[in-house]
Structure 1
Amino acid sequence: MSHPAAPTSFDALKAFSFERILNEDPFTHSIILLGTFPVPGNLSERVKAVVRIERTILNADQGVRLLGDPGLLTRIKLEQSTDIYTWLFGWLGEERAGDVKVNIICPATETHINKASYLKQEHVLVHETPELYEKIVKPYIAAFPPSRTQWVENILTGLSEKDKILFNSPDFLILPDMKWDLKTVTSLYLIAIVQDRSIRSLRDLRRRHIPLLQSIRREAARVVGEKWGLGKGSLRMYIHYQPSYYHFHVHMVNANYQGNILGMAVGQAYILDDVISLLELDPEDGPGIYERMTLTYGLGDQHELFKALTESQSGEVKENKRPYV
């Protein structure tokens, strides 16, 4: 069940009160806004909200109808024309459904607002040793209240998004990620969420989890093959570290998808195949490889871990005042 202030209608969406721009990305044609929505029944109370507005991607069916007479373009404006190059602005007609996709987090906590993909911030590469994980990161993860992942529990227990589930088993389920428009196959974006609540992040994976990860890989390939006709090697499957929420999940996108560059970047995305291969090197007993590894990843200066990791250092700070963790 959604929060009472979460807008589910056009009139409710228009009640948004803008505060500031968190970020803008010309590559994905998206802008992220911070503001508030009123609480129904108590209009004097407003709650924070993060709103991401993104231009949707043209699909192949629309592409063949964009130009010509009649076409989807209803108006154009000449920007410039020189030699062989011409630049135009165009407006799409009423037939085009969903020119923008709007994602809303309401109520939004400071952690949501400071999330790397929402708030524009400087990033540094940090080197998280097993000791730093045990001392700083693990307690940070353990301190997260269950309410922060209640939406995940609602999906796993069938209270929400039941109609979107593409695969369901006692171990995990697969469904579309909310960032996907559910139509454009070239930007296909699915997610697998595991039922095992003890796996919070990449650090918790052990050799015994290999069958689970292999099953996710196998079933995801089967689903996209049967439903969208995508063949072997068509999916890029990866795990985030640090993730945006601490309930283990695997991202799966079309291998040709070029959006969400930050989310697929080296230093955040760990390829599922590589993770499985590393786990195969785990000993039968004793510490696992992800217990023993130093993990290097990008961390924004607004992330809650940034300050803690900085304060843990012995004083090695670069001239730009950014820590080399």
Structure 2
Amino acid sequence: MMLSLLEQVGIALAVAVLGGLYIRQQSVANVGTTKMLRDFNLVRVLKRTDTELALLGNFKSDNHKKAAVLVIQTAAMDTEALNQMLVGMSLHEILVNDIYSTFQGDVSRTVKPYKVNLIYPATERHVRKHMDQNFHMVVETKEAYRMITKPFIDSIPAENIEWVYNILEHKSETDRIIYEDTDPRNGFVLLPDFKWSDPSQVHIVLTSFLFSLLAARIALLSGNRARSIATIASGSYWCTLEVVAEHPTSRFLLLTCCMIPPGNRDASLQVLSEKFGVSASSIRMYLHYQPTYYQLHVHFSHIKMIHGAHPTCLSVLSCLALGTFSGKAVLLEDIINNLSFNSDHYKNATLSFVVGEMQHKQLFELFREKRII
């Protein structure tokens, strides 16, 4: 595949800056715990936006040539290091017109302008998720859920969310945990989303609002390995408003609140306030439908993440990745309110959501076969 000049330049710049960077990663094949970018062999560019480059490749040292997805993104700026960045920046003039000038800026190695995510070994599902693709709006009726969505959810292998249980069982990412409630029934874990550029600098991130995502996931700490909340047994958990889950096979969102006791929501907001100085009125709480992975989790993001305040919102495609848009995010308070008036609301409601032709390939094709798309 021939790369365009822009793609070649973008890759060259990213790799040049990150040439000495080591990326921590876990491999089920025990290939090793560190890989250098100079060992990365590019196969093709999956997606290119103003602020993100998704690459498919492998490692030269890997004899099995397992697929690797490398995502290079513009990192959140450290406002405390601005003077250091400005002093060490070299400017190369692009154009000058009256009072307006444009330059290309080169920064020193002490500045870290990129965030790099590595998925290795990567499956076809990971590759599809990061491909440039078309998206479609699905209007899902109660019947469409029963015939299409639910069988699809039930078919998802449990091992797809094994990494979630690695966190819950303290096998990985223990240093990223912000707060943990170990109650065997209602306990949960609060930790940064992967979209955070640098969780260790959260105070800087929150102050400048130049962050990838002020977000957290709530995951249940129990022995119940439900792949989705639609599979939880009747009466297993109490809903936020003490509505008992009576329909274990009903719509995905019907049982959402049954795994979010009142204390979990309030405790999470209190932690965000105490640790980061963010008030509850500045936090957006929401679930995704369809979610990326089918283990109940709630996202918390700062309301200033919209309207271009986020650096990756420079393009439509990169904004889609944030998941706060209509057709992806369902506000937690709206869910609670709907269930308080009618516990069967999400059992019977028609829901609209976005699917990607590649990211949600199987689900997209199922809806297309039924002429819903």
Tell me, yes or no, whether TM beats 0.5.
Answer: yes
CA contact (8 A) 1:5 1:106 kept: no
Show CA shifts across 1:97-154 (max 9, x none). Answer: x321111111222222112xx1111111111112111111111111111211110011
CA contact (8 A) 1:201 1:241 kept: no
Q: 1:130 aligns to what?
A: 142
CA contact (8 A) 2:67 2:121 kept: yes
Q: Name the SS of the counterpart of 1:46 in structure 2.
A: coil
Q: Residue 92 of structure 1: CA displacement?
A: 1.8
Cα-Cα RMSD: 2.4
Q: 1:102 aligns to what?
A: 116
Note if 1:309 corresponds to 2:364: no
Q: Residue 7 of structure 1: CA displacement?
A: 6.6
CA contact (8 A) 1:235 1:254 kept: yes
Q: Give the Cα separation in 2 of the matches to 1:53 and 1:104.
A: 9
Q: 2:330 aligns to what?
A: 270
Q: Name the SS of the counterpart of 1:45 in structure 2.
A: coil
Q: Give the Cα separation in 1 of the matches to 2:30 and 2:256.
A: 43
Q: Residue 213 of structure 1: CA displacement?
A: 5.6
Q: Residue 52 of structure 1: CA displacement?
A: 0.6
Note if 1:16 corresponds to 2:46: no
Q: Name the SS of the counterpart of 1:14 in structure 2.
A: helix
The verdict on how the C-alpha distance between 1:94 and 1:20 changes in structure 2, with shifts beyond 3 A counting, is closer
Q: TM-score, normalised by structure 1?
A: 0.83
Q: 2:58 aligns to what?
A: 36
Structure 2: runs of 5+ lacking an equivalent = 1-25, 231-250, 313-317
More helix by share: 2
More strand by share: 1
Counterpart amino acid of residue 76 in structure 1: L
Q: Give the Cα separation in 1 of the matches to 2:126 and 2:35.
A: 23
The correspondence for 1:91, drawn from 106, 110, 130, is 106
CA contact (8 A) 1:199 1:205 kept: no
Q: 2:73 aligns to what?
A: 54
Q: Residue 232 of structure 1: CA displacement?
A: 2.9
Q: Residue 231 of structure 1: CA displacement?
A: 2.0
The verdict on how the C-alpha distance between 1:216 and 1:2 changes in structure 2, with shifts beyond 3 A counting, is farther
The verdict on how the C-alpha distance between 1:36 and 1:83 changes in structure 2, with shifts beyond 3 A counting, is same
Identical positions, percent? 31
Structure 1: runs of 5+ lacking an equivalent = 314-323
Q: Residue 63 of structure 1: CA displacement?
A: 3.1
Q: Name the SS of the counterpart of 1:124 in structure 2.
A: strand
Give the alignment of 1:197-216 within 5 angstroms.
Answer: 197-198=225-226, 200=228, 203-206=251-254, 209=257, 212=260, 214-216=262-264
CA contact (8 A) 1:299 1:306 kept: yes
- Report how many aligned residue pairs link the two structures: 298
